[in-house]
């Protein structure tokens, strides 16, 4: 049976590979293995998927209330980087469900899954449920989202063409439902960040109102084509585009309307760099309008929604006014100030600060010279007439002069700060790292799970670049305040080197749905603390004798997810050479987790812990006590209760008694040792004393004999 | 310190003077007793002259037993009513008398020589017994507390 299944899986993977080969060479990878879920060109992807031969074998697995057919692909319901599979709802006979399998190496969005699960929201695809399950194609666990099948299919069909939506109907069938979704999410402080034409489905077979597809299967904005991102966020890496605000969703709505109006993705024939360049030089709306032919009726909302100034950008009030047929205030096409003369970096001329910021980030090494010699500052002052920015640049350069021995690091900080001076609302960019401050968590998660490692993130935090970003933000924003207080914790975590801190702690504290990346349990996709011990129980079956059940990732995961404070245990773990305290801290942590979240019986893990309790038993000094504990450990391990095991070595009264008795014993031993030393080393002194005392005794005896003789003679004479 | 150092010297000088004064007085008042004492205590006299050690323990030892040997003859002299110089001379030059007096002095000297080794042996035996007792206690502690006791002692020392 297993071999049949493997053959089926291999066949499917072969089919996927065949499709990859048939697509053009520049196409990005799709998710047929973990980590293959890079943002995809959905039009091409859907086209390829339709060609996929759909097997109708009988392989299925039950996940929660659903039966998922692992060999029955539904490419028409693929969303973003995730693939869809046929599924049956075992609880309800009516309705059609399908399963969307997420990429295990990309974090999902906890807040959205929690909010949308089991809730029907007009304009949004119904998320029926979510579950973590073993996915045979990946050979590991991942999160599976279950959706109600939209009755009308994709708005953009596989050929890349859209099914016709009348320009006159766009307001009612697209804008209204999407506004409803964004409003409902906005009320909860959430953002969709996956508003795009390729993520739209018709809610009914007649092609009436549309509904928005999934938004929770990956990092916010991860699957968005670059053109859908605002000028502020487009420079960030896809994983680091950040949660954003309602304003970012409205911008994406504007681009969606533009795509639906012109019938294909705007600027589709341009590369990402060209899209960025044209958007920065002309402004978003002008970039679209200059390249594409927008229907007259759509110009006003697209211009309003694609306004690059978030303050000027259309909100719900303007959209409602437009829907009601009222005129709204006109918005400026491009608010970006253009310099009279250009600033050259690596042979390319830049006229706006944002474009220059991007140029500096792309030419990290070559940009240092014009920044350091003041060319950019002069350009800002004379070419652009922006004295505030020029002064900030001069301050940043002055700080470079104060740099100590680490000149190179100071120069890198200067480049990073210069980028933030030029583009304060853009992402934090540092030597290839490019992420919005609210996207740090997902960016770190992506880097760690895709081989880049945490170094870039750590460098950014250690160099305190985000602090400069906060300093460059104008006005009061509760969101910025929240990010700032969270950032203070990150710095503290990164500065601590011991287990339970470091980048691991940052990762789990920033990304709520990040599964634990400990090599021991990574395949188990542990997202909630309650899943941790069962996963470790499973890992305990094949673990080496000398491995500890808590590594840096698990310590950080527990510290972040557990309701109880484990700082004491983490402190004790700072010194792994102190085996007694280290093992006690680990056992204590696991015991607290079991006490809080169960399960009651963890036999494998208990035996694993029992093996490692040898150092912890040393907490007792008395041999008799140790022997008693060592006899008890196997008995308690059989019961699978870590709390009892911990209590055995943590009987405070017994420990205190043992300790005080031990201190007394040490003192007694030391005194005895010292007395023996004195006695053994005092031979000559004793001889000297013996001579002196002997002489005195002889003198005394002699005197006494004389006295006695005289007394006796007198007495004899008298009597 | 200097004052403290001078004090015993003064007392010793006084003590020596008082001995000489007593001897002169005895010479004038009871010449036969003086002769018996002088001849009989000759070893003590020699010991006092040559013993320069603090406390002059050897001289005291010799004197104590020497005096015990002389005392019976002094008493015998005093019992003789005449108390003449001739009687005293005749008495002290008897070989037996001289042997008893000087033999007693010799015993005193031997006592002085023998006593320090005896005391040293006693002290050594006592120390060895104490060491054995302490080692036994230490072994008991190690049996109860194991090697960690030794490690802790090593660490704290």
Is the pLDDT higher at A314 or at A616? A314
Contact predicate A343/A354, CB 8 Å: no
As a three-state string, the secondary structure of B34-79 is HHHHHHHCHHHHHHHHHCCCCCCHHHHHHHHHHHHHHHHHHHHHHH
A22-26, A42-46, A214-218 — which one is most confidently predicted on average? A214-218
* pLDDT class of A111 with cuts at 50, 70, 90: very high
The yes-or-no verdict on residue A336 having pLDDT over 90 is no
> B interface mutation test: which of A579, A623, A699 has the most B CBs within 10 A?
A699
- Mean predicted confidence (pLDDT) in B5-30: 74
How far, in Å, CA of B97 to CA of B35, rounded? 14
Q: What is the pLDDT, as a whole number, of residue A492? A: 93
| Assembly ipTM | 0.84
Interface of A with B (CB under 8 A): 618, 621-624, 626, 662, 665-666, 668-670, 672-673, 675-676, 679-680, 682-683, 686-687, 689-699, 701-706, 709-710, 713-714, 717
- Render pLDDT for A227-256 as a digit per residue (tens, 0 to 9): 999 999 999 999 999 999 999 999 999 999
* pLDDT class of A583 with cuts at 50, 70, 90: confident
Chain A CB contacts of B134 below 8 Å = 672, 675-676
How far, in Å, CA of A132 to CA of A108, rounded? 11
The yes-or-no verdict on residue A699 having pLDDT over 80 is yes
Q: Are strands A140-148 and A97-101 parallel, antiparallel or unpaired?
A: antiparallel
Write the DSSP symbol of residue B94.
S
The residue in chain B having the minimum alpha-carbon distance to the alpha carbon of residue A620 is B145
Beta strands (DSSP E) in chain B are none
* pLDDT class of B152 with cuts at 50, 70, 90: confident
How far, in Å, CA of A433 to CA of A444, rounded? 10
Is the pLDDT higher at A50 or at B40? B40
Q: What is the pLDDT, as a whole number, of residue A22? A: 36
3-state DSSP assignment of residue A67? strand
What do you get for the CA distance between the two ends of chain A, in Å? 130
Which candidate, A262, A239, A266, places its Cα nearest to that of A252? Answer: A266
- Render pLDDT for A367-407 as a digit per residue (tens, 0 to 9): 999 999 999 999 999 998 999 999 999 999 888 877 776 78
Q: What is the pLDDT, as a whole number, of residue A19? A: 38
The yes-or-no verdict on residue A103 having pLDDT over 90 is yes
- Answer CATH for A2-148 from 2.40.30.10, 3.30.200.20, 3.20.20.70, 1.20.58.220: 3.30.200.20
How far, in Å, CA of A452 to CA of A71, rounded? 33
- Is A170-323 in CATH node 3.60.20.40? no
- Render pLDDT for B38-67 as a digit per residue (tens, 0 to 9): 999 999 999 988 988 888 899 999 999 999
A202-216, A503-517, A541-555 — which one is most confidently predicted on average? A503-517
The yes-or-no verdict on residue A42 having pLDDT over 60 is no
How far, in Å, CA of A177 to CA of A204, rounded? 13
3-state DSSP assignment of residue A63? strand
φ/ψ (deg, to 5) at A83: -100, 150
- Mean predicted confidence (pLDDT) in A194-210: 90
Q: Are strands A140-148 and A210-212 parallel, antiparallel or unpaired?
A: unpaired
Sign of CA dihedral A683, A685, A689, A694: positive
Q: Which residues, at least 6 apart from A719, have a Cβ–Cβ distance to it below 8 Å? A: none
* pLDDT class of A53 with cuts at 50, 70, 90: very low
Distance of CA A8 to the CA centre of its chain: 34
Q: How far is B133 from chain A (nearest CA, A)?
A: 9
- Yes or no, beta carbons of A695 and B131 under 8 Å apart: no
- Render pLDDT for B127-146 as a digit per residue (tens, 0 to 9): 999 999 999 999 999 999 88
- Mean predicted confidence (pLDDT) in A572-590: 89
Which residues is A430 bridged to in the sheet?
Answer: A433
- Yes or no, beta carbons of B134 and A676 under 8 Å apart: yes
- CB crowding B18-41: b at 16 or more within 10 Å, else e: eeeeeeeeeeeebebbbbbbbbbb
Q: How far is A697 from chain B (nearest CA, A)?
A: 7
Chain A CB contacts of B140 below 8 Å = none
Q: How far is B41 from chain A (nearest CA, A)?
A: 13
Which candidate, A597, A601, A610, places its Cα nearest to that of A640? Answer: A601
Contact predicate A256/A178, CB 8 Å: yes
How far, in Å, CA of A34 to CA of A13, rounded? 12
Quote the mean pLDDT of chain A. Answer: 87
What's the token pair of residue B99?
Answer: 């042997």
Q: What is the pLDDT, as a whole number, of residue A159? A: 64
Sequence-separated contacts (24+) of A545-549 with Cβ below 8 Å? A545/A611, A547/A520, A548/A586, A548/A612, A549/A520, A549/A586, A549/A590, A549/A605, A549/A608, A549/A609, A549/A612
- Mean predicted confidence (pLDDT) in A450-473: 94
> A interface mutation test: which of B58, B148, B150, B157 has the most A CBs within 10 A?
B148
- Yes or no, beta carbons of A666 and B57 under 8 Å apart: no
Sequence-separated contacts (24+) of B114-119 with Cβ below 8 Å? B114/A698, B115/A694, B115/A695, B115/A697, B115/A698, B115/A701, B116/A690, B116/A691, B116/A692, B116/A693, B116/A694, B116/A695, B116/A698, B117/A690, B117/A694, B118/A694, B119/A690, B119/A691, B119/A693, B119/A694, B119/A697
Is the pLDDT higher at A194 or at A618? A194
Whether B110 has its CB under 8 Å from any CB of chain A: the answer is: no
Q: How far is B156 from chain A (nearest CA, A)?
A: 9
Whether B10 has its CB under 8 Å from any CB of chain A: the answer is: no
Q: What is the pLDDT, as a whole number, of residue A166? A: 78
The yes-or-no verdict on residue A30 having pLDDT over 80 is no
- Yes or no, beta carbons of B71 and A710 under 8 Å apart: yes
Q: What is the pLDDT, as a whole number, of residue A44? A: 47
Q: Which residues, at least 6 apart from A59, have a Cβ–Cβ distance to it below 8 Å? A: A5, A8, A69, A70, A71, A136
- Mean predicted confidence (pLDDT) in B70-92: 83
C-alpha atoms less than 13 angstroms from C-alpha of A224 in its C-beta half-sphere: 35
> A interface mutation test: which of B116, B126, B139 has the most A CBs within 10 A?
B116
How far, in Å, CA of A156 to CA of A44, rounded? 11
Which residues is A145 bridged to in the sheet?
Answer: A100, A130
Residues 48-67 of B with CB under 8 A from A: 55, 57-58, 60-65, 67
Rounded to whole angstroms, the maximal C-alpha distance in chain A is 159
For residue A652, give Cα distances in angstroms to A245, A658, A660, B76.
52, 10, 12, 87
| Residue in the structure block whose two tokens are 């490690």 | B151
Neighbours of A189 (CB within 10 A): 13
Which residues is A156 bridged to in the sheet?
Answer: A162
How far, in Å, CA of B123 to CA of A688, rounded? 11
Is the pLDDT higher at A27 or at B76? B76
Q: Which of A622, A689, A694 is the closest to B115 by Cβ?
A: A694
* pLDDT class of A156 with cuts at 50, 70, 90: confident
Whether B76 has its CB under 8 Å from any CB of chain A: the answer is: no
**Inter-chain Cβ pairs, chain A and chain B, closer than 8 A:** 140
Residue-level length of chain B: 157
Distance of CA A615 to the CA centre of its chain: 34
Q: How far is B82 from chain A (nearest CA, A)?
A: 18
- Render pLDDT for A283-302 as a digit per residue (tens, 0 to 9): 999 999 999 899 988 999 99
For residue A205, give Cα distances in angstroms to A173, A195, A229.
13, 21, 30
Contact predicate A72/A47, CB 8 Å: no
Contact predicate A210/A155, CB 8 Å: yes
Whether B149 has its CB under 8 Å from any CB of chain A: the answer is: yes
- Yes or no, beta carbons of A669 and B149 under 8 Å apart: yes
Q: What is the pLDDT, as a whole number, of residue A717? A: 83
Please state which of the ranges A172-181, B76-85, B97-106 shows the lowest mean pLDDT.
B76-85
- Yes or no, beta carbons of A701 and B115 under 8 Å apart: yes
The residue in chain A having the minimum alpha-carbon distance to the alpha carbon of residue B145 is A622
Check residue A451 and give left, alpha or beta (phi > 0: left; psi -120 to 50: alpha).
Answer: left
Please state which of the ranges A5-19, A327-341, B74-88 shows the lowest mean pLDDT.
A5-19
How far, in Å, CA of B122 to CA of A686, rounded? 10
φ/ψ (deg, to 5) at B125: -60, -40
Sequence-separated contacts (24+) of A688-693 with Cβ below 8 Å? A689/B123, A690/B116, A690/B117, A690/B119, A690/B120, A690/B122, A690/B123, A691/B116, A691/B119, A691/B120, A692/B116, A693/B116, A693/B119
């Amino acid at each position: 049976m297993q071999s049949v299944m493997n053959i089926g899986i291999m066949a499917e993977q072969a089919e996927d590979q065949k499709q990859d080969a048939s697509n053009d060479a520049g196409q990005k990878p799709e998710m047929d293995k973990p980590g293959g879920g890079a943002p995809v060109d959905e039009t091409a992807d859907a086209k390829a998927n339709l060609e996929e031969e759909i097997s109708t074998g009988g392989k299925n697995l039950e996940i929660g209330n659903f039966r998922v057919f692992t060999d029955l692909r539904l490419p028409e319901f693929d969303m973003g980087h995730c693939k869809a599979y046929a599924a049956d709802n075992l609880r309800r006979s009516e309705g059609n469900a399908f399963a969307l399998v997420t990429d295990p190496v990309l974090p999902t969005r906890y807040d959205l899954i929690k909010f949308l699960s089991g809730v029907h929201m007009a304009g949004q695809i119904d998320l029926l449920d979510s579950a973590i399950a073993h996915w045979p194609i990946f050979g590991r666990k991942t999160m599976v989202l279950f959706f109600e099948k939209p009755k009308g299919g994709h708005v953009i069909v596989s050929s890349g063409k859209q099914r016709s939506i009348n320009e006159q109907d766009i307001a009612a069938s697209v804008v209204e439902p999407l506004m409803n979704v964004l409003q409902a999410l906005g009320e909860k402080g959430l953002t969709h960040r996956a508003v795009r034409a390729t993520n739209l489905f018709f809610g009914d077979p007649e092609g009436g109102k549309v509904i928005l597809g999934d938004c929770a299967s990956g990092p916010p904005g991860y699957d968005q084509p670059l053109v859908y991102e605002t000028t502020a966020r487009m420079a960030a890496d896809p994983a680091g585009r950040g949660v954003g605000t309602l304003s970012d969703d409205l911008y994406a709505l504007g681009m969606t309307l533009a795509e639906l109006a012109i019938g294909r993705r705007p600027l589709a024939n341009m590369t990402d760099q060209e899209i960025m360049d044209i958007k920065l030089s002309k402004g978003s709306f002008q970039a679209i309008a200059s390249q594409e032919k927008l229907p007259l009726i759509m110009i006003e909302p697209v211009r309003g929604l694609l306004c690059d100034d978030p303050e000027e950008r259309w909100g719900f009030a303007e959209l409602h006014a437009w829907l009601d047929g009222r005129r709204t205030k006109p918005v400026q096409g491009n608010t970006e100030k253009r310099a009279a003369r250009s600033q050259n970096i690596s042979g390319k001329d830049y006229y706006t600060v944002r474009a220059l910021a991007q140029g500096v980030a792309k030419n990290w090494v070559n940009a240092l010279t014009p920044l350091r010699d003041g060319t950019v500052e002069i350009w800002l002052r004379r070419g652009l007439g922006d004295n505030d920015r020029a002064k900030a640049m001069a301050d940043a350069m002055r700080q470079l002069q104060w740099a100590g021995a680490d000149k190179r690091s100071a120069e890198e900080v200067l480049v990073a700060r210069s980028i933030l001076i030029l583009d304060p609302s853009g992402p934090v960019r540092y030597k290839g790292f490019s992420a919005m401050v609210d996207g740090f968590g997902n960016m770190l998660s992506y880097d760690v799970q895709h081989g880049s490692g945490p170094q870039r993130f750590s460098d950014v935090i250690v160099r305190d670049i985000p602090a400069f970003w906060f300093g460059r933000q104008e006005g009061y924003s509760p969101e910025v305040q929240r990010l700032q207080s969270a950032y203070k914790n990150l710095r503290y975590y990164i500065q601590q080197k011991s287990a339970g801190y470091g980048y691991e702690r940052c990762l789990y504290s920033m990304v709520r749905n990040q599964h634990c990346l400990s090599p021991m349990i990574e395949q188990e996709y542990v997202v909630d603390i309650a899943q941790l011990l069962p996963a470790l129980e499973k890992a305990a079956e094949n673990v080496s004798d000398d491995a500890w059940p808590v590594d840096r990732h698990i310590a950080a995961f527990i510290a972040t997810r557990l309701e109880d404070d484990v700082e004491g245990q983490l402190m004790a773990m700072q010194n792994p050479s102190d085996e007694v305290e280290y093992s006690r801290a680990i056992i204590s942590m696991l015991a607290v987790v079991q006490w809080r979240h169960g399960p009651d019986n963890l036999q494998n893990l208990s035996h694993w812990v029992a093996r490692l309790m040898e150092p912890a038993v040393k907490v007792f000094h008395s041999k008799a006590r140790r022997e008693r504990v060592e006899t008890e450990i196997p008995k308690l391990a059989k019961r699978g209760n870590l709390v009892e095991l911990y209590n055995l070595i943590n009987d405070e009264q017994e420990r205190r008694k043992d300790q005080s008795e031990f201190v007394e014993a040490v003192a007694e031993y030391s005194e005895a040792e010292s007395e023996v030393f004195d006695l053994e080393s005092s031979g000559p002194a004793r001889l000297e004393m013996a001579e002196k005392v002997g002489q005195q005794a002889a003198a005394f005896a002699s005197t006494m004999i004389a006295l006695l003789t005289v007394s006796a003679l007198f007495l004899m004479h008298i009597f | 310190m200097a004052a403290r150092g001078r004090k015993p010297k003064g007392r010793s000088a006084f003590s020596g003077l008082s001995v000489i004064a007593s001897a002169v007085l005895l010479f004038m008042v009871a010449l036969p007793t003086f002769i018996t004492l002088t001849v009989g205590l000759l070893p003590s006299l020699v010991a006092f002259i040559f013993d320069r050690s603090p406390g002059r323990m050897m001289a005291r030892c010799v004197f104590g037993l020497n005096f015990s040997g002389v005392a019976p003859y002094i008493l015998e002299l005093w019992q003789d009513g005449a108390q003449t110089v001739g009687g005293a001379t005749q008495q002290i030059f008897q070989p037996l008398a001289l042997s008893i007096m000087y033999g007693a002095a010799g015993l005193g000297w031997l006592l002085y020589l023998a006593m320090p080794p005896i005391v040293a042996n006693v002290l050594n035996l006592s120390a060895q017994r104490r060491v054995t007792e302490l080692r036994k206690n230490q072994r008991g502690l190690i049996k109860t507390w194991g090697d960690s006791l030794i490690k802790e002692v090593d660490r704290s020392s």
